[in-house]
Structure 1
Amino acid sequence: MQLDAYAYGNHLRMLPPAYKTGFAMGILSIAFLSHVSVQLMIFGWMSIWIVRYAGIPSRLYIRLIGLAFVFVVLSLPALLVEVTHDKYVPVTNVACGFVVADWYLYISKNGLDQAGRLAARALAAISCLYFLMLTVPFNELLHVLRRLRIPEIILELMLVMYRFIFVLLDVAANIRVAQLSRGGHNGFRNTMQDMGRLFVQVFACAMEKQRKLAIGLAARGFDGTIRVYQVRDYKMSSRYSAEAIIGILVLIGMEWLIRSGL
């Protein structure tokens, strides 16, 4: 729940959630359509917004970036590694490689280029989503999405999934502590067995909590609509608004210069 606490206590809390959501989504759109240099600029700029302006601890932000980037790294071998028969090696596309029996495994230059572009785009997109997650509380995000006429069934699923992420993480942590206190996770084989039991218990707990949640909602007259009330007064900041507008124009201008070959 630490991330939720930062969403409620960050230095940009006074800004309207619709403003922050629109800003993050606008930058995210630019990140998807721009070149690598612009994407790296987006990552650096959004990191400044998160760490300096919102007051999120840099250590936490680096950990979050590292955690997300692990999944990016795991996807890179599919782009980098090529396998072909020895006599069909395209030499001009080989960065490095070695022979295994009659096959040649190599890292392609095209793959390196694609991996670099993928990593840059992923960093830019991740920073935009972390800005949204760390500065906009989830109930306020639901309110913004409702104003955009997002179907209620999607909002309901988002709320339930968001709640259960934290609930199940807490349950998994408690079960693991209980296993460790009983001498569990001792050796590779025992660790695998304990992890299997943990997954089974977490799944059973998730089903039970979902059943109780459904009963509780029905008992309180839930009619399929999640009502989120806004009781906080927000105020715009001319300083942040000016920087956001100027920054977006600079990014668009840089992308235009790159596409024009200037």
Structure 2
Amino acid sequence: MLAIDAAAYRSPWRRHHPAAKALLAGGLLGCALVLPPWPGAVVTALVALAVALCWARVPARTLLRAARTPLGFALTGSLTFLVTVGADGIGWADGGPRRAGEVVARCGAAVLCQLLFAGTTPLADTLPRLVRLGVPATLVEVAALIYRMLFVVLDTTRRIRDAQAGRLGARSLQATWRSLGGLGSAVFVRSFDRARRLEIGLAGRGYTGALTVAVEPIPLRTPFLLAAPLPAALAVTATLALERLL
């Protein structure tokens, strides 16, 4: 199990309805997208971080590990704003650092808002309820199967890497590349075989196009529902106040 999923199952917000948590995180996400990058995105990121660490009590290490990959993509992509390509060649773009900073600020705030929801709400609580909102059941089932297969792929990858390391598969650069090629092909073949066996198993159990699962009832608590919009309101208020001061 991924660390962010384990944190969601252990979260003190585990017993709150996913709709209320979606309202809270979605409100902050809207602030990250609508408010100006400075100071709006920065304020939204700070509010989301404070809510995640202090109110939802998501472990800081788990939050950092989950955020580093998407933030790395955002930082890498923002570097393209620093240069311009023209008839005279490659040069520094006018206003490039400002645009790069805006992209990183918005992406950082949006990532923290999404991780706030992911770190407090297991996917098993969310997917079955999407059908009630009008999402096609087939799409929800495909997402659930991909989610379950993901852990199988990760476990297979870990086992193969351990076996390669035990056989000195990384003793040189050439051996490392050879091991990576073997790892990719083995994971693909085993994942394809596991998916085929899963399809055969579902057909043998009379699969008719719908996977019926038991959905644990979670009450929609009024105090938490009323408090859910407060972080977004705080972000908007703080942004407007800072704009007046600056």
- TM > 0.5: yes
Residue 9 in structure 1 maps to residue 13 in structure 2: no
1:137-162 C-alpha deviation (Å, 9 max, x unpaired): 11211123112110112112211221
Q: For 1:16, give the aligned amino acid.
A: H
TM-superposed CA distance for 1:30, in Å, is: 2.4
Match of 1:247 among 220, 226, 231: 231
- Per the alignment, residue 57 of structure 1 pairs with 59
Instruction: Choose which of 157, 160, 166 in structure 1 pairs with 2:151.
Output: 166
Q: How does 1:80-159 map to 2 (within 5 A)?
A: 80-86=82-88, 103=89, 105-159=90-144
Structure 2's unaligned 5+ residue stretches are none
Instruction: Go from structure 1 to structure 2 and tell me whether the alpha carbon gap of 1:21 and 1:227 turns closer, same or farther (over 3 Å shift).
Output: farther
Percent identical among aligned pairs is 27
Give deviations 1:111-149, integer Å, cap 9, x for gaps: 212111111110111111111211111121112311211
Is the deviation greater in 169-178 or in 52-61?
A: 52-61
Which residue matches 1:217? 202
Query: Which residue in the other structure is 2:68 paired with?
Result: 66
CA contact (8 A) 1:80 1:107 kept: yes
* Pairs aligned (count): 244
Query: Rg larger in 1 or in 2?
Result: 1
Counterparts of 1:34 and 1:227 in 2: how far apart (Å)?
41
1:22 aligns with 2:6: no
Maintained 8 Å contact 1:12/1:53: no
Cα distance 1:260–1:45, how it changes in 2: closer, same or farther (>3 A)? closer
Check 1:256–1:50 CA distance in 2 against 1; reply closer, same or farther (3 A cut).
Answer: closer
Structure 2 equivalent of residue 35 of structure 1: 36
TM-score (norm 1): 0.84
Shift of 1:252: 3.5
Q: List runs of 5+ in structure 1 lacking aligned partners.
A: 87-102
1: distance between equivalents of 2:20 and 2:205?
Answer: 33
- Work out the CA distance in 2 between the residues paired with 1:154 and 1:142: 10
1:139–1:228: 8 Å Cα contact kept in structure 2?
A: no
The residue matched to 2:208 in structure 1 has which SS?
A: coil
- State the TM-score, normalizing by the size of structure 2: 0.89
1:45-99 alpha-carbon deviations (Å, 9 max, x no partner) = 212222222222211211222222111122122222223455xxxxxxxxxxxxx
Structure 1 counterpart of 2:153, which letter?
L
What CA distance in whole angstroms lies between the structure 2 residues aligned with 1:228 and 1:20?
Answer: 22
Cα distance, 1:165 vs. partner? Answer: 1.7
Q: Distance in 2 between matches of 1:211 and 1:109?
A: 53
How far 1:237 sits from its partner (Å)?
A: 6.1
